[in-house]
């Protein structure tokens, strides 16, 4: 017993703090903040305190949502993923629930600090994540649709900073809905393998998103090259792993595709941000990938 305690003491990330960070999926949280930043760029506003509040709100909402994902999945994880923080006993259930509630509450509070509209959107995101965690994720269509909707609302959270955002830009939320639907549907095969039908659906949805992003870039005037190059980067990152998962839908390839898809949300966000804000804004959002990628090697993405 003493040797075990000594071994744990020598592992700075092997204790309680690491367990609760695993619940929060730090790499994924960085991609969530990128959604809000893209929405803020579409709002046409200069960076300021609202931008910071909404990015932080997005972090809280996503972190709280994924904590509750593991809370609701703890019995299934005890069978399929016993190494996770809750079934392994490295995190306590009551503490995890309190952490999830605190993060969601923080996200809602920060939303209302910007505007009533932002606060309402934050409430919808919080409610949507709980709906997904508790019920929707067990349905083949409702699950991906609910999670995709939450990501679309996350983009709208950034857009909500402007009370007079150009009309029609809220429709861009459909990009996140389709893209995240593709990732979430694919992720159902992470443990036992998937189907080629699901893989084909994911490829079609990602292709549709790419076409829409290309059209958006083409309409961006002098900002088109920046948006277009970042779109190309997105396709280079997600195309090969999703194609491999489609060809042979075994768990390892599916996990690789899902991981790439989740992290590449930052690239999608950067393309949209560049289309509205130019190179500097797009690269600032893309810089979050430098945060998310190392974190994804320390903490699982799924």
Domain edges within the chain? 21-298
Could you count the other beta carbons within 10 Å of the beta carbon of residue 51? 20
Q: Which of 134, 167, 131, 168 is nearest to 150 (CA)?
A: 131
Residue with tokens 């994804």: 296
Mean per-residue pLDDT, 14-34: 91
pLDDT at 6: 38
Instruction: Report the alpha-carbon distance of residue 159 to residue 252 in Å, rounded.
Output: 37
pLDDT at 46: 87
Q: Cα separations (Å) of 122 from 18, 44, 64?
A: 27, 20, 12
Mean per-residue pLDDT, 10-31: 82
Average pLDDT along the chain: 92
Mean per-residue pLDDT, 175-195: 93
pLDDT at 14: 54
Mean per-residue pLDDT, 119-132: 97
Percentage of the chain lying above the pLDDT 90 cut: 86
For 31, the token pair is 């991609």
- Give the three-state DSSP class for 216: helix
Instruction: Report the alpha-carbon distance of residue 162 to residue 2 in Å, rounded.
Output: 58
Percentage of the chain lying above the pLDDT 70 cut: 95
For 175, the token pair is 């990009």
DSSP structural state of residue 12: T
Q: Which of 53, 159, 44 is nearest to 111 (CA)?
A: 53
**Contact, 118 vs 160, CB < 8 A?**
yes
Question: Model pTM?
Answer: 0.91
Residue with tokens 């306590």: 92
For 257, the token pair is 């595709």
Domain at 21-298, CATH homologous superfamily: UbiA prenyltransferase (1.10.357.140)
* Confidence band, pLDDT 50/70/90 cuts, at residue 9: very low
Q: Which of 72, 70, 69, 61 is nearest to 31 (CA)?
A: 61
Instruction: Report the alpha-carbon distance of residue 87 to residue 19 in Å, rounded.
Output: 11
Q: Cα separations (Å) of 190 from 26, 110, 135, 159, 253?
A: 20, 34, 19, 33, 8
Q: How far is CA 290 from the centre of its chain?
A: 15
pLDDT at 237: 97
pLDDT by residue (tens digit) across 96-105?
999 999 999 9
pLDDT at 2: 39
pLDDT at 11: 38
């Amino acid at each position: 017993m003493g040797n075990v305690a000594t071994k744990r003491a020598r592992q700075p990330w092997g204790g309680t703090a690491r367990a609760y960070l695993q619940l929060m999926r730090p790499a994924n949280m960085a991609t969530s903040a990128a959604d809000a930043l893209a929405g803020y760029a579409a709002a046409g506003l200069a960076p300021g305190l609202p931008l910071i509040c909404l990015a932080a709100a997005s972090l809280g909402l996503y972190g709280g949502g994924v904590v509750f994902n593991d809370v609701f999945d703890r019995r299934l994880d005890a069978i399929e993923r016993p190494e996770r923080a809750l079934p392994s006993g490295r995190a306590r259930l009551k503490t995890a629930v309190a952490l999830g509630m605190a993060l969601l509450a923080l996200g809602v509070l920060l939303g209302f600090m910007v505007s009533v509209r932002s606060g309402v959107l934050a409430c919808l995101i919080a409610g949507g994540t709980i709906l997904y965690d508790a019920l929707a994720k067990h349905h083949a269509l409702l699950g991906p649709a609910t999670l995709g909707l939450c990501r679309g609302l996350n983009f709208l959270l950034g857009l909500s900073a402007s009370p007079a955002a150009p009309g029609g830009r809220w429709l861009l939320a459909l990009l996140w809905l389709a893209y995240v639907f593709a990732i979430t549907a694919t992720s159902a095969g992470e443990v036992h393998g998937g189907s080629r039908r699901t893989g084909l659906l994911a490829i079609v949805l990602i292709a549709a998103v790419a076409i829409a992003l290309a059209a958006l870039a083409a309409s961006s005037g002098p900002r088109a090259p920046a948006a277009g190059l970042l779109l190309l980067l997105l396709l280079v990152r997600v195309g090969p792993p999703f194609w491999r998962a489609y060809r042979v839908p075994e768990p390892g390839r599916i996990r690789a595709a899902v991981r790439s898809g989740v992290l590449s949300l930052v690239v999608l966000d950067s393309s949209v941000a560049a289309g509205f804000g130019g190179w500097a804004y797009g690269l600032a959002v893309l810089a979050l990938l430098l945060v998310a990628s190392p974190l994804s090697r320390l903490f699982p993405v799924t």
